[in-house]
Amino acid sequence: MTASKQCSLAEIGMAIHAARRIIVIGHVRPDGDAIGSQIALASSLHETGKDVLVLNEDGCPSNLSFLPGSSMVTQPAGNSFEADLCIALDTANRERLGAGCLAVVKEVPKLINIDHHISNEGYGDLVYVDDSSPATGQIIFELLQQEGLPLTEVARDCLFVAISTDTGGFRYPATTARTYEIAAELIRFGANCGELSSAVYERYPFRRLELLRELLGVLRMSDDGRVASWVLDLEMKKMLSLRPEDSENLTDLIRAVDTVDVAVFFEEMAGGMVRVSMRSKRAEAADVCEVCRCFGGGGHALAAGARVEGKLDKVVEQVLNKIDESLK
């Protein structure tokens, strides 16, 4: 991303106030930060009288359907919405918005890109990327506060979940003092920390435990114990009737092993693609964003991913070899 493209929150506020019909969009296979930020911003804009469409290629995952306003999230199939403005959230490159969503928004005259990934490619007419922010939800909170946009009850709860999920329950190193201050503000506004945290971290379907059992059976550790990895193939996905959200954040479990510096999750996708999700315990040991960039992906130093074309076993070998090189 070129620094010259970076805009201010005030410029984004001006564009929002000037628009009447707005599309709020996020990345494929959305997580809590993407969906939470989408719903929160849309709820605030709707409160000001804007016509808002919340669009996501894969819709709202079942594990986040408890969020207030989750019914606002629609998929692009059959959607037609003439908008003045499109706001893309938490998405480092345009392609990750999804082909269906891109088809809906291609005629929108202005696109705003708001994100916190250091690998953001700087697409859009207005670009605001703050890679020091641990979550896009934190940026959206600052935008609402600075530009005098309403913090609705829906936005309040969704922003709490967005920030909590992308900071690992406020545990990850990117969490700042400001992150805790914002969480405190949201609680003062009425967010129920206990109920929201329970909904996020303590309500998994049983098939997630079945998946964990199967993955532990194929867990692979490097000889020195620094790299842990496991593989989810199409056969296992079919056998367990898995949904995409069932495997979210499982890699954190093997990263927690005391000797492990890097944990990797390989997921075989239809069409000859492999989804790679990578976590590092210490940036000084391994910058997984740099590793994933070698395979067309990106993210953060401690959490990154890529989608790699090729046979599963070959991709696994290539990625693990690159990780080994980076550790050495």
Mean local confidence (pLDDT), 104-111: 94
Length reported for the chain: 328
Q: Mean pLDDT, the chain, as a whole number?
A: 94
Beta strand spans in 251-291 (E): 262-269, 273-280
pLDDT of amino acid 2: 43
In sign, the C-alpha dihedral spanning 129, 134, 140, 143 is negative
Q: Which two structure tokens, joined as six digits, stand for 120?
A: 């953001």
Mean local confidence (pLDDT), 238-251: 92
Per-residue pLDDT tens digits for 15-64 = 999 999 999 999 999 999 999 999 999 999 999 999 999 999 999 999 99
Per-residue pLDDT tens digits for 260-303 = 999 999 999 999 999 999 999 988 889 999 999 999 999 988 99
The Cα–Cα gap between 85 and 110 comes to 5
The pLDDT of residue 1 is above 60: no
Q: Measuring CA to CA, how many Å separate 191 from each of 65, 153, 185, 314?
A: 17, 8, 9, 46
Residue 55: in which H helix or E strand, if any? strand 51-55
Q: How far apart are the first and last CA of the chain?
A: 29
Residue type, 98: G
Q: What angle do CA 270, 271, 277 make, to 5 degrees?
A: 60
User: What residues contact 108, with CB distance under 8 A and at least 6 apart?
Assistant: 23, 83, 84, 85, 86
| Number of other residues whose CB lies within 10 A of the CB of residue 145 | 13
Q: What angle do CA 38, 48, 35 make, to 5 degrees?
A: 5
In the sheet where 85-89 sits, what is the strand order?
73-74, 51-55, 21-26, 85-89, 111-115, 126-129
The Cα–Cα gap between 322 and 142 comes to 38
Residue 216: in which H helix or E strand, if any? helix 206-217
pLDDT of amino acid 4: 45
Do 130 and 166 contact (CB within 8 A), yes or no? no
pTM of the full predicted structure? 0.90
Q: Measuring CA to CA, how many Å separate 156 from each of 83, 138, 235, 263, 317?
A: 25, 11, 40, 33, 44
The Cα–Cα gap between 58 and 78 comes to 14
Q: How would residue 192 be classed by pLDDT, with cut points 50, 70 and 90?
A: very high
Mean local confidence (pLDDT), 305-327: 95
Do 231 and 247 contact (CB within 8 A), yes or no? no
Per-residue pLDDT tens digits for 131-181 = 999 999 999 999 999 999 999 999 999 999 999 999 999 999 999 999 999
The Cα–Cα gap between 313 and 307 comes to 14
Question: Over the Cα atoms of the chain, what is R_g?
Answer: 19
Q: Which domains does the chain have, with CATH numbers?
A: 3-201 (3.90.1640.10), 207-327 (3.10.310.30)
The Cα–Cα gap between 269 and 6 comes to 35
